[in-house]
Amino acid sequence: MTNIAMGPAKKQSEKTEERVTILIEPRSLTRQCFSAWLEQGEPDMALRAFGTPLAAVDHRAASITLIIWSTGASSIASSLMSADLKRLRQSYPAVPLAMLADRDDPADIREAIRRGVNGYVSTSLDRREALEVLRFIRAGGTYVPASALVDADLSAQSDGSGGVDNRPARATFDDLTPREADVVERLRLGKPNKVIAHELEISESTVKVFVHRILHKLGAVNRTEVAYLAQQWADRAETRSEPVV
């Protein structure tokens, strides 16, 4: 009887679609260090590292699940950064985009979110914590550093030059209906429409209607900005409720 080796065929049938993460970092040594860190933390992930957003845009992969853009100390307000961000968002509109930055400037964070960044990750984070944040963003969550939420009067204090709108968050959130507030709370936690629909026992299409109405009421560009504003409002409410000693 002839023996038939089944090993290779079995491996071929078990092959799954490759998950690809794109890393953009212009500094060669830093790019190598970030790449080693990501590959160690996510061994099942395929990493593609590039020096510029333009090079990343030229790359095509079947399943890109996350883009990590390391911007160092550069400001989103610069014309070059703005152009690069616009190019990335036009090329990969549905892929979660995480900005890995040295800056914790609230105006920069707010502007990045308005322009489509899903998570603003500070390089001051511990490496394990930063990896968890990146996994959260890949799963569809939104994230901004806590330091950006400390300034409760951010919107009111802006003079308009830093890319932050003068919107009265208190009055705006008070105008939401109880059901809209339920949806906003879940947007703040980074939950996708499917999960929100399940928790509120409504259809996904109804959730989309609620999200559309919330965006209109808050004057927000996208759900990421809603999450950011909601976190600010929650922190304000918590501060106001603290007992005075």
pLDDT (tens digit per residue) in 111-155? 888 888 988 888 888 888 888 889 888 887 778 776 555 443 444
**DSSP state letters, 54-112:** HHHHT---S-EEEEEEEEET--TTSHHHHHHHHHHHHH-TTS-EEEEES---HHHHHHH
- Render pLDDT for 159-218 as a digit per residue (tens, 0 to 9): 444 444 444 444 367 778 888 889 999 998 888 888 998 999 888 878 887 887 788 778
Residue 242 has a pLDDT of: 56
Residue 149's pLDDT is what? 54
Torsion of CA 47, 90, 163, 111, to 10 degrees: -30
For the chain, the structural domain boundaries read 18-149, 167-238
Please give the average per-residue pLDDT across 225-245, as a whole number.
71
Neighbours of 221 (CB within 10 A): 13
- pLDDT, one tens digit per residue, over 39-94 is 998 888 899 999 999 988 877 666 888 999 999 988 888 889 999 999 999 888 88
Q: How confident is the model at residue 243 (pLDDT cuts 50, 70, 90)?
A: low
pTM of the model: 0.60
Q: Indicate if the pLDDT at residue 3 is higher than 60.
A: no
At 44, is the secondary structure helix, strand, or coil? coil
pLDDT at 158: 45
CATH class of the structural domain 18-149: alpha beta
The amino acid that residue 74 corresponds to is S
Mean pLDDT check: name the lowest of 3-12, 141-150, 220-229: 3-12
CA 44/CA 38 separation, integer angstroms: 10
pLDDT level of residue 226 (50, 70, 90 thresholds): confident
Query: Please, are residues 190 and 96 in contact by the beta-carbon 8 Å criterion?
Result: no
Q: Report the top-level CATH class of 167-238.
A: mainly alpha
The mean of the pLDDT values for the chain is 78
- For 174-205, b where at least 16 C-beta lie within 10 A, e where not — what string? eebeeebebbbebbbebbebeebbeeeebeee
